[in-house]
Amino acid sequence: MKNTWNSELYDTKHSYVFKYGEDVIKLLSPKPGERILDLGCGTGHLTKVIADYGADVTGIDSSAEMIKQATQKYPSINFKKMDATDFSFTEKFDAIFSNAVLHWIPEKEKVVKCLSEALKTGGRFVAEFGGKNNIRNVVDALSIILKKNGYPDNAERINWYFPSIGEYASLLEKYGFKVEFAAHFDRDTFLDDGVDIIDWLEMFGKGIFSGIEPEIRKNLLSEIKDDLSTKNIKDGKWFIDYKRLRIAAVKEF
């Protein structure tokens, strides 16, 4: 599933994504002068927060549109278009940070290998992303309704990566990390006023409907909305049933 990003919509209607990231930065605890990589920096909000701690931060993202926005907004920060599965730097980092990104990348082992190679020994990796059973209601509704209408929910359409603590910690250990902290917790998150599940899917689930005629896609979205309106509305407001995996690890070898 390939998602294309609308950086303006991301900033205006889905800003909770980076607002929650500020808690993850506290866990990272950046120090002045540290060389830090923000992996999947999006439009650069959190990269700027890290820079404000006095760190020497670089932001990378695979979306050219996101990198363009980030560079325009924060010209004093170094941003580069790079893929999380295939990045390298000549000078190693003291820490790598990543918020709400790793669930987009099924090639998780390639990412962890790059992380390990890009960190100094003793360097920190601090990340938060979707954990096991993340957005379960949404995935179930997508899967059932796509199948019912003759569109198999194969990995081409729905291939988010939502690991358990055990699974992800084992992967990190394989690449020389010691996991010092791991938490897997529920975070039902209300969407902004006037934003519903269709807006959310337009932003985050574009690739799922690729190749489907606009009229059919509209009907599918409407069926999904009907199904989820019995599960994902509280007090008249839409929420997404997020489950987060928060990890802090140190590179030992």
Between 59 and 130, CB nearer to ligand BEZ = 130
- Residue 13 and residue 134: Cα distance in Å, rounded? 20
Closest to 61 in 3D by CA, of 113, 8, 121, 4: 4
Residue 143's alpha-carbon distances to 105, 189, 197, in angstroms, are 19, 21, 15
End-to-end CA, the chain: 34
The angle, 0 to 180 degrees and rounded to 10, between the axes of the packed helices 108-118 and 165-174 is 50
Interface of this chain with ligand BEZ, residues 22 to 81, rule: CB under 6 A: none
Between 63 and 134, CB nearer to ligand BEZ = 134
- Binding part of the chain for ligand BEZ, among 64-72, 77-85, 90-98, 128-136 by CB under 6 A, reads 128-136
Q: What DSSP element (H or E) covers 203?
A: helix 197-204
Which regions of 149-236 does DSSP assign to beta strands (E)? 177-190, 233-234
Among 35, 45, 48, 103, binds ligand BEZ (CB under 6 A): 103
130 forms part of the interface with ligand BEZ (CB under 6 A) = yes
Interface of this chain with ligand BEZ, residues 132 to 171, rule: CB under 6 A: 134-135, 160
Report the nearest approach of ligand BEZ to the CB of residue 3 (Å): 8
Among 60, 95, 100, 201, binds ligand BEZ (CB under 6 A): 100
Which positions lie near ligand BEZ, rule CB under 6 A? 100, 103, 130, 134-135, 160, 204, 242
